[in-house]
Amino acid sequence: MPVQSKICRGAAVLGASAVGLGFVVPQASPSAARAAASTASASPASPAFSPSTGIASCAVAGAVSFAAARRAGARSTRARSSTNARAQRVALFARGGEEDTRVCIPLEELRNTDVDKVGGKSASLGEMISQLSDVGVPVPGGFSTTAFAYKEFLDKGGINDFINNQLSDDTIYTDVNKLMEVGKAIRDKIMDTPFQQDFEAELKEQWSRVSGGDDKFTFAVRSSATAEDLPDASFAGQQETFLNVMGYEDLKQKVHLVFASLFTDRAISYRHDRGFEHEKVQLCATCQKMVRSETGSAGVMFSLDTESGFKDVVFVTAAWGLGETVVGGTVNPDEWYVFKPTLAEGKNSVVSRTMGSKLVKMIYKEGGGSEVVDTSEEEQNKWSASDEEVKALAEMAVKIEKHYGRPMDIEWARDGDDGKLYIVQARPETVASQKKVGVIEEYKMLEKGGEKVAEGRAVGKRIGSGKVNILTSIDQMAEFEKGQVLVADMTDPDWEPIMKKAGAIITNRGGRTCHAAIIARELGIPAIVGCGDATDKVKKGDAVTVSCAEGDTGYIYKGEYVGICGQGPSDHPDLAKWLMEQGIDSVSLNPDSVIPTWQFLGKK
C-alpha cells in the first residue's frame, strides 16, 4: 500500500462536504455546521483533497475549515461533549500529523488510503461508498472500529506480553496440536479482558447512529485487518464474520469475538507462512447494515477468470440465501462467465453458465444469528440469479476494477425485500493477476490416467497425487501427513494449517470462489471442489491422482501418475506447434468449456 503522509490522511478524515474543499467537518451541532459553511464561503477557495495534491495545502485547508466549525460549535450550548472531544482529536490530527485516536469511524468517512487505520475491508468499503455510489455501485453503510482502538485494548488490558510469550515457541508452526492450544489460550485471554469504558461509549454511539436505536436493526460484523486484502495475500476467511447481529449488546459481543479472531489457528499459521509479524497486525471490526438476502440470493464474482488469469471476463457465482454458503464452501453455486467486450457494447455477453446443486442455503434465525437449511427442489433446479442480474453485477465489477486499477474479488447480495443488488465487499484478486505476464504454464500427465473415480470443479491447473486421507473434522488434523491427498466433505479456512501440507485437495462441496479455493490457489495446490460424493468414492490409503489440467472439470483417477509442466511465451509465433511439442495437444478440444481457448489464444 502506498504510504501517505499523516498530515494528508488527517486532512482526508475531514471528508467531502464542507467549504467546497472536499472535506466533511465532524459536526458538533447543526448550527456549528451552518456557521462553518458561512465562514468558509467568505474564505478564498482551496483545491479539493487528493493524494497527489500538495500535502501542506490539504492540511492547512482542513485545519482552517475545521477551526471554523470548532468556533461555531463552542457557541452552541447543545453540542455534545463526546462529539467535541472527538472533534478535538481530529483537529489535532489534521494540524500536526498526530495519531488519529478515534476508536470508531463511519464508513462514509473512510478511503482506500486508510488501511493502516481501519484495515483493508473497512477502507475498501469506505472508498466504494464515497467514490462509486454515484456511478451505480451501491454499498451498505455502517462504521468501523480502528487499529488505534485495538492497540489500546491490548495495551491497557495487559495482553501483549501474554500473546508474545505464547507465540515464542516456533514448534507451533509444525505441530498442529500445539498451534490449537496456543490459539485457544490467546483467544480466551482476549475474551476474558473487558473493553475500556470510552471504547464502549463510542461503540454504542455509532450503533445508535446507524440503527436509530432500533434493537431489531441487523448488522453484519466482519473482521478488517491492517494486513489483509493485499494484492499478493488475500487473508480470505482468516478471521471471523457474524451475520444478523441484533441490538447493541449482541454487537458488542461480536466485536469482541472479532478482536479475538486475529488469533484463530488458521490466521496464526497464515501470517507466519507469508512472513507477517503477528505484533504488527491490528484487527478492526467492520459493522455494516445487513442486506436481506435470506429471501434473495448472494455470491462472489471475480473481474477475471480465476483459473487462467484471462482478464476479459467476469466470473460470477450465486446461491440462494446469505452469501456465507458460497464463500464458506458449503454449497455448490451457480456459475456464469460474462465477456467484457460485448458487455460494453450492450450485446449478449453471458457466454457460459453452469447450474450448481445448491442443496442448502443460509437464512436468518429468529432473534439473531443464522442457520443452514435445505433448499427446495424448485430452488435446486432454478437459477439463483437472472441473466440480467448477472450482467448488472458484471457491470459493477468492471467499474470497481477500473477504479482500483486491478482485478478484484467481490462479494455481492440481492435484497429479497427491495430486489436490489448490493456490493458488500471488494478486495484485490491475489493469484491469477500475479502470474507472469507473457508466459504460458500448462500441465499434463506423462501417461494416460486410469479409472476415473470422481469429478468436480477444478481449482488451478496443476496435477497432484498421493495417498488418500479422509478427514471428517478439523479435530483430526494431527492425523494428516505431509504429501497426502486431503479428502473432506468441505474445507474452510480453519483447515489452512493442513491444506498447506496436502499434495492435493478433494471436497464434496464448495465452488471455485469459496475461501478454501482461494487459499488453495495461493498455496499452488491442485484442488477439486463440489465432487458431491468423493468421500464415498475413495478410501483412506487409496493412491489417486488429482488432475486440474483438463479444463473446468477436474478428475480424480485411481493410481499415482506423474505430471509435467510445459512453459513458454504467450506470443510464440506458432503457439499451437509449441504446445504440441510440449505434449499438450488437446487444449482447445475439451468440450467442457470455452475457457481453455481463452487461456491460449486470448490471454492478456
Tens-digit pLDDT profile for residues 27-79: 333 333 433 343 333 333 333 333 333 333 333 334 333 344 333 443 333 33
Model pLDDT, residue 67? 40
Q: Is the pLDDT of residue 414 over 60?
A: yes
Residue scoring higher pLDDT (309 or 472): 472
**pLDDT higher than 90, residue 442:** no
Answer yes or no: are the C-beta atoms of 62 and 21 closer than 8 Å.
yes
Q: Look at residue 98 in the predicted model and tell me its pLDDT.
A: 65
Find out whether 350 and 337 touch, Cβ atoms under 8 Å. Answer: yes
Provide the pLDDT for residue 306. 86
C-alpha cell at 524: 499452488
Q: Is the pLDDT reported for residue 24 higher than 50?
A: no
| pLDDT for position 276 | 72
Where is pLDDT greater, at 66 or 577?
Answer: 577
pLDDT, residue 445, reads 65
Instruction: Compute the average pLDDT of residues 387-402.
Output: 98
Q: Residue 443: which pLDDT band, with cuts at 50, 70 and 90?
A: low
Q: What is the pLDDT of residues 293-350, one digit of tens each?
A: 999 999 999 999 988 888 999 999 999 999 999 988 899 999 999 999 999 999 999 9
Please tell me the least confidently modeled range out of 171-185, 279-293, 426-440, 587-601: 587-601
pLDDT tens digits, 127-172: 999 999 999 999 999 999 999 999 999 999 999 999 999 998 888 8
What is the average pLDDT across 582-604? 38
Question: pLDDT above 70 covers what percent of the chain?
Answer: 71
Q: Residues 558-568: what's their mean pLDDT?
A: 66
Instruction: Check whether 187 has a pLDDT greater than 50.
Output: yes
How far apart CA 20 and CA 498 sit, in angstroms, is 54
Give the per-residue pLDDT at 231. 45
pLDDT-based confidence at residue 563 (cuts at 50, 70, 90):
low
Cβ-proximal residues to 289 (8 Å cutoff; 6+ apart), any chain? 140, 141, 142, 210, 217, 218, 219, 220
Gyration radius of the chain over CA positions: 25
Residue ranges of domains in the chain, CATH in brackets: 1-101 (no CATH), 144-289 (3.30.1490.20), 293-434 (3.30.470.20), 439-601 (3.50.30.10)
Looking up cell 449478449, which residue turns up? 348
Among 482, 511, 522, residue whose Cα is nearest residue 234: 522
Per DSSP, 600 falls in state H
Please state, in angstroms and as integers, the Cα–Cα distance from residue 586 to each residue in 351, 562, 563, following that order.
21, 18, 15
Residue-level pLDDT at 448 = 66
Would you state the pLDDT for residue 59?
37
d(CA 123, CA 111): 5
Q: Rounded to whole angstroms, what are the CA distances from 307 to 36, 269, 320, 566?
A: 53, 25, 24, 16
* Best mean pLDDT range from 45-54, 119-128, 425-434, 459-468: 119-128
Mean pLDDT of all residues in 267-281: 79
Q: DSSP characters for 167-185?
A: TT-GGGGT-HHHHHHHHHH
Residue 407, classed as helix, strand or coil, is coil
Q: In this predicted model, what pLDDT tens digit does every residue of 228-240 receive, in sequence order?
A: 544 444 444 456 7
**How far apart are the C-alpha atoms of 378 and 356, rounded to whole Å?**
13
Cβ-based neighbour number of residue 477 at 10 Å: 18
**Residue 214 dihedral angles phi and psi, to the nearest 5°:** -85, 115
Residue 433 — pLDDT band, cuts 50, 70, 90? Answer: low
Residue 515 is a catalytic residue: yes
What is the secondary structure of 264-291 as a DSSP string? -HHHHHHHHHTT--GGG--EEEEEEEPP
> pTM for the complete prediction?
0.71
pLDDT > 90 in the chain, percent: 53
Whether the predicted pLDDT of 91 surpasses 60: no
d(C-alpha 5, C-alpha 1), whole Å: 13
* Integer CA distances (angstroms), 485 to 269, 454, 542, in order: 20, 14, 9
CA quadruple 502, 449, 334, 292: dihedral, nearest 10: -10
Q: What is the pLDDT of residue 434?
A: 56
Please tell me the predicted confidence (pLDDT) of residue 239.
Answer: 60
β-sheet with 241-246: strand ranges across: 104-106, 142-145, 283-289, 218-225, 241-246
431 by Cβ neighbours in 10 Å (0-12 / 13-18 / 19+) ranks as buried
Q: Which of 79-88, 298-307, 387-396, 470-479 has the lowest mean pLDDT?
A: 79-88
C-alpha dist (Å) from residue 93 to 61, 102, 130, 343, 512 = 13, 10, 21, 45, 44
Output the pLDDT for position 588: 32
Provide the Cα torsion 344, 349, 352, 355; round to 10°.
Answer: 100
Q: What is the mean pLDDT of the chain?
A: 78
Beta partners for residue 363, in sequence order? 371
Distance, in Å, from the CA atom of 271 to the CA atom of 115, rounded to the nearest integer, reads: 17
From 272, 403, 515, 572, the catalytic residue = 515
Say yes or no to pLDDT of 568 above 80: no
